Amino acid sequence: MIDLASRPNLNTLVADQIGFWPEHEKFLSRSLETRDEQLLDVCEDISGLILRIANNTSTDLSIWWRDYRYLCEEIVLPEELYFRRHGKYRLSTFEDANRECYANAAMMGRYMNGLLLSSVFWENHARALSYYALQFLPRLPIGARHLEIGPGHGLQLYLAARHPKVGSATGWDISPTSIQKTKFALESMQTPGSVALELRDLFAPKSHEDLGRFDSVVLSEILEHIEDPVAALRSVSEVTRPGGHLWVNVPANSPAPDHIFLFESLEHAEDVVAQAGFQVLDSAAYAMSGVSLERAAKHKLSISCVITAQRPE
């Protein structure tokens, strides 16, 4: 394991997870050893935010380490085995995902806790978040009006709200429960300034005030939950100003109980973005921890695909 003494927040997360689940030390060591100093600095920052949320949620922090193990062993592993056998995701409709996952509050709570920790523990998740913080946000215009659709635990919305180029930050979600969870997380992280959280359906008709309203729009790990991601992105285009920026993060070949649209590669994800009328500016692909990108592509292992695009002028 690399020395994390100079990064106390990251060190706390890793040490406590290993203390709860010693067998996971080899995976975490492999995941961390390839990260450069800049990426480790981002992970230290994110680890501090995660600890704020965790400490404000529960006096028993072992709940979080338990839920991360639950994510790995009971959520992801069975879906991975199905994907290996059949070459497709187990579910294909939002109705099925809603019945099995979103309507199961106890399961979803544990699932989301585990995913929050994966932002640091899984190399591909950490690299995608670093790309967002260090490459996407700095390219925005001064005073940018920023929107994130489905902000979840609010990490990326927090990073946007504190960035000097962002003038206003807004989050949309279709679920009142999710809005409340995001609100709680933003308060726990002591988000600077105000963030507007709105109960909105992306596919609902847009008001005149919404058209071209935002300079930047983010969909992070959202499109794989939607049956028609091209239609979703076309709806996003309506609220993006001409010349405005889009940031998409989707997992390729990454089975989960609520993933219904299978992205097969970065090129596939880029094609979906382009079909919706956006111009792809740049992109990156990050393989799962401990695996080269070449091996991940060859064997259809999980890859995080991040894309920066622009609505044409």
Q: What is the CATH number of the domain that holds 145?
A: 3.40.50.150
Residues 34 and 111 in one domain: yes
Residues 109 and 152 in one domain: no
Q: Which residues contact 292 (CB under 8 A, 6 or more apart)?
A: none
Residues 41 and 186 in one domain: no
* Euclidean distance between CA atoms 146 and 211, whole angstroms: 14
- DSSP-based helix, strand, coil % in the chain, nearest 5: 55, 20, 30
Residues 98 and 152 in one domain: no
Residues 81 and 198 in one domain: no
Percent of the chain with pLDDT over 70: 100
Q: Are 181 and 112 in contact (CB under 8 A)?
A: yes
pLDDT given for residue 177 in this prediction:
87
Residue 132 domain-assigned (yes or no): no
pLDDT, one tens digit per residue, over 17-45 is 999 999 999 999 999 999 999 999 999 99
Residues 147 and 288 in one domain: yes
Predicted TM-score (pTM) of this structure:
0.96
pLDDT, one tens digit per residue, over 116-164 is 999 999 999 999 999 999 999 999 999 999 999 999 999 999 999 999 9
* Euclidean distance between CA atoms 241 and 189, whole angstroms: 30
Q: Range with the lowest mean pLDDT among 87-91, 107-111, 271-275, 279-283?
A: 107-111
Domain boundary among 121, 151, 179: 121
The domain containing residue 156 runs over which residues? 141-310
The strands making up 240-252's β-sheet, listed across from edge to edge, are 195-199, 166-173, 144-149, 214-220, 240-252, 303-310, 279-287
* Euclidean distance between CA atoms 163 and 150, whole angstroms: 19
Residue 129 domain-assigned (yes or no): no
